[in-house]
Amino acid sequence: MARFIARRLVGMVAVLFAVSLIVFLIFNVVPNSNPAQRLAGKNARPFLVKNIEKEWGFNDSLPVQYVTMMKKVFTGELTAYEPRVPVDEEIINGIPATVSLSVGAAAIWLFFGLLLGYLSAIKAGGLLDKLLTAVSVAGISIPVFLIAPVLIYLFTYKIELFPNAGYVPLTENPQAWLSHLILPWITLAILSVGFYSRVLRSNMLDVMSEDYVRTARAKGLGERRVMTRHVLRNSLIPIVTLFGLDFGATIAGTAIITEHIYNINGVGNYAAEAVAKFELPPIIGVTLYGAFFIVFVNAAVDIAYAYLDPRVRLGDTTG
């Protein structure tokens, strides 16, 4: 197990290095205009461009430039230009909101996804099962930017059930925190509920045909016990992987759009605003932060998977 973890961590560092290299290439080497011009944004004043050129050392050799960029990232010197705010501070400020949004949404989609998947597997072919099939196909096709406006229009403007936009820290006012987050949570979670219920259902149907399930029934265990202790438990293992990957992707992907629509001042909205202003330093920072998060979650998932399913780690050390 220790060897497995060590190997996974080395792989993680390698991927992070590759990501930083790609980000560097995108911003400093992609053959187009002057990189300082790009960093400064769309309509930057000439003296700002001059300053940036000196600050980032665009006349140095490429490896030196790469080191300069990474130094800026690690020492927290990466700053946005208008206004001059350090990127790392903004990211740290945004984390509570992003985490509140993602964790809440993940809890909702896991709970409902697993519940519905379990129910539809028990009664495969039933009405709920058919309904969920349709819902899950629709679910993977609905863009966040359709659900969110519809929800905001209905629940904020029409019946005024939830307040409009913004984020209230949990420590400040738990009730306002909750009411501001309910719609964003639903927006993010609704897509995954159908998907997770389908995955769990098909996993459970696969497991139900395993020999040990027959054995469990043969030794006289009750149906509920067979389902929960034998079938459900083993069907959850693949869900762990899926969930880890999805959770990482949510924070570094769909959450950006959701935060932007609901005006939640998280990391994603910070990135979205930087995009709108064509400002690159915050995007560099957020991309690296997102990469770190995804890679970290993926490694954690692999380790959890190896722990839950001995076949993975045994196969890995012998092979």
Please, what's the b/e burial string for 15-35 (b: 16 or more CB within 10 A of its CB; e: otherwise)?
Answer: bbeebbeebbeebbeeeeeeb
Half-sphere exposure of 312 (CA within 13 A, CB side): 17
Which DSSP letter does residue 165 get?
S
Select from 20, 68, 254, 265 the one that contacts another protein (CB under 8 A): 254
Place of tokens 């028990």: 122
Task: Quote the crossing angle between the two packed helices 280-308 and 267-276, to the nearest 10°.
Answer: 150
* Minimum distance, C-beta of residue 159 to another protein, in the bound complex (Å): 13
Place of tokens 């060590």: 6
Is the C-alpha dihedral spanning 166, 171, 173, 178 positive or negative? positive
* Minimum distance, C-beta of residue 225 to another protein, in the bound complex (Å): 28
* Binding of another protein by 151 (CB under 8 A): no
Task: Quote the crossing angle between the two packed helices 87-122 and 280-308, to the nearest 10°.
Answer: 40
Select from 86, 96, 163, 238 the one that contacts another protein (CB under 8 A): 238
The partner residues of 79 in beta bridges, in order of sequence, read 86
* Binding of another protein by 280 (CB under 8 A): yes
Which 180-219 residues touch another protein, going by CB under 8 A? 191-192, 195
Q: Pull the structure tokens for residue 124.
A: 């495969």
* Binding of another protein by 300 (CB under 8 A): no
Nearer to another protein, 199 or 231 (CB): 199
Q: Pull the structure tokens for residue 20.
A: 């930083």
Select from 95, 150, 161, 314 the one that contacts another protein (CB under 8 A): 150
* Binding of another protein by 138 (CB under 8 A): yes
Q: Please count the residues of this chain forming the interface with another protein, following the rule CB under 8 A.
A: 64
Which DSSP letter does residue 45 get?
-
Select from 4, 37, 99, 240 the one that contacts another protein (CB under 8 A): 37
Residues within the interface to another protein (CB under 8 A): 15, 18-19, 22-23, 26-27, 30-34, 37-38, 41-42, 137-138, 140-146, 149-150, 152-153, 157, 191-192, 195, 238, 241-242, 245-246, 248-250, 252-254, 256-257, 260-261, 271-272, 275-276, 278, 280, 283-284, 286-287, 290-291, 293-295, 298
